[in-house]
Structure 1
Amino acid sequence: MSSNGTGRFAGKTAIVTGAGSGIGKATALRLASEGARVVASDISADRLAELVEENPELDLVTVAGDVSSEDTIAAVLEAADGRVDALANVAGIMDGFLPAAEVDDATWDRVFLVNVTAIMRLTRTVLPLMVEAGSGSIVNVSSEAGLRGSAAGAAYTASKHAVIGLTKSTSVFYAPNGVRTNAVAPGGVITNVDGTFKSQLAGERLGPIMQTNVPPVAHPEQLAAAITWLLSDDSANISGVVLASDGGWSAI
């Protein structure tokens, strides 16, 4: 039984990427506190070691590495030990708010590799286990930038729209097998993701819009609550949905 009074994930194994900080860390802790064995992945071995050291009472297994790497994905699957009930694809990177005329190939390729390709590869890896078990829940972290064009640069915006497309496609194909796939679209959240404007045009064009329309930033725990709800049986009839957790930004 967890500290918040539920044991929704007792006996279950969950994978969380980006678990060393921010939304990923909050999600890993929430899942583990509700009884899950959590395979926590992050590019920073130091952050993962700190996560375990600070929470010795929780069942946390860590895998350090780049989640877009097949080697890291193989290590994550090995740590899951043949069972994956829940997958939270949280890891992601920003793009400096670079508009289409300013984005460089390296930024575009890296953003898509981490934000989209890594999700596809990890999803592709766990789906056979979930289909065989006849159950499973996947939650992908998209963004307000997956719903509108004024929340980030060209690469990040395109990548988060792609996450929504991947989410819906996966739901259509695998919901009949008992595997649900949903997405959460955060607005501003207090994390260590670099949100620096690296474009004068972005500052001039998006700055005034954001100052007017963007609600106050959320805490990672608020996003973790939404993610774990979608991963849990409490949302058993929900698949293919994009849940905005953005303080009402998507309604503006």
Structure 2
Amino acid sequence: MLYNTAPDALFVPQTAVDPLGFGKVAIVTGCASGIGLAVAQLLLAHQFQVCGLDVAEFDYALLREADHGRFHFTRGDLTKPGACEDGVRVCAAAFGSRVDVLVNVAGVMDNFSSADGVSDELWDKVMAVNLTVPVKMMRSVLPFMKAKKDGVIVNVASTAGTSGAVAGIAYTSSKHGLIGATKNVAWRFRNDGIRCNAVLPGAVASDIGKTIIAGRSQLWDSDAFAQIEPVHALQAQPSAAAPTITALEVAKTITFLVSDQARTINGVSLPVDKAWGAV
């Protein structure tokens, strides 16, 4: 029953409909862990239908059982030819030929190597995952968004997207490039009802974050990391007053950018970094 038959009585609806995500479809890359998982969980909580893409297997135990019917997972390497297009096609087939939201989360870290030491293999891998895949994903969803004159894209960049003192040259270049791609898409499709923004997380609580804070890895370029380590020691060390940023906190920022509350925000790079970017 939509309406109360007694107009002088309090009307309490039997079910609550979340206007943020009800009837909408979101694609989340890198959904199996970290920020991607938190984004998928939060969007499902807002009643989105979510299509998750990841190279790793997904643990359905990390979702509420009630959300399983609104979540479709496809495992695959998005750097392979045609994989991005196939992922979007599968999502459109699963949820009714529409894509309302794309969140590009999938990314890989480099080994902190500098321009004089980065290998071709590492450069190609980092650029492919962190920059080429997000651009191909955006290319694949834009026809759906243009057709209905509405859509939101959020790219997960990094503090390294605006600073040269956070990571190696490959990761730094890829995230700078992703911010540029975000601005270009935002401007080009601003009159098509499409918004494209980026978030720039700082030191997020994750396995790689813990390793960076500890300052040790057999695979890192030790000389290059020695130049960056003081910055990480200054910015990435958690304390009671400034605890490490959680994946859920980044996901909440992304959800805000997806919402109508941010409908006039387009082409921005929003730091989620405890003022790291202010240095």
Could you say whether these structures have the same fold, taking a TM-score greater than 0.5 normalized by the shorter chain as the test? yes
1:18-167 to structure 2, matched below 5 A, reads 18-45=30-57, 48=58, 50-51=59-60, 54-58=63-67, 59-81=70-92, 82-167=97-182
Point out where structure 1 has 5 or more consecutive residues left out of the alignment: none
Distance change >3 Å, CA 21–CA 36, structure 1 → 2: same
Q: Percent identity between the aligned chains?
A: 36
TM-score by length of 2: 0.84
Mapped pair 1:198 → 2:220? yes
Point out where structure 2 has 5 or more consecutive residues left out of the alignment: 1-12, 239-243
- 2:166–2:231 Cα contact (<8 Å) kept: no
1:178-217 to structure 2, matched below 5 A, reads 178-193=193-208, 196=217, 198-214=220-236, 216=238, 217=244
2:8 is matched with none
Distance change >3 Å, CA 90–CA 206, structure 1 → 2: same
Distance change >3 Å, CA 54–CA 130, structure 1 → 2: closer
Q: 2:253 aligns with which of 219, 223, 226?
A: 226
Instruction: Work out the CA distance in 2 between the residues paired with 1:203 and 1:132.
Output: 47
RMSD: 1.8
Deviations 1:49-74 (A, max 9, x none): x1366422111100101122344323
- 1:21–1:192 Cα contact (<8 Å) kept: no
Instruction: Work out the CA distance in 2 between the residues paired with 1:206 and 1:220.
Output: 23
- 1:171–1:179 Cα contact (<8 Å) kept: yes
- 1:145–1:156 Cα contact (<8 Å) kept: yes
Deviations 1:68-111 (A, max 9, x none): 23443233212322110000000000001111111100000000
Instruction: Work out the CA distance in 2 between the residues paired with 1:54 and 1:237.
Output: 32
Between 169-178 and 196-205, report the one with greater CA deviation. Answer: 196-205
Partner of 1:125: helix, strand, or coil?
A: helix
2:188 is matched with 173
Runs of 4+ in 1 over 6 A off after TM superposition: none
Q: How many residues align?
A: 246
1:10 is matched with 22
- 2:113–2:225 Cα contact (<8 Å) kept: no
Between 130-139 and 197-206, report the one with greater CA deviation. Answer: 197-206
Instruction: Work out the CA distance in 1 between the residues paired with 2:51 and 2:207.
Output: 21
Highest Rg: 1 or 2? 2
Deviations 1:126-183 (A, max 9, x none): 0011011100000001100001000100000000000000000001100110000000
- 1:147–1:161 Cα contact (<8 Å) kept: yes
Instruction: Work out the CA distance in 1 between the residues paired with 2:79 and 2:124.
Output: 12
Distance change >3 Å, CA 52–CA 63, structure 1 → 2: farther
Between 7-16 and 135-144, report the one with greater CA deviation. Answer: 7-16
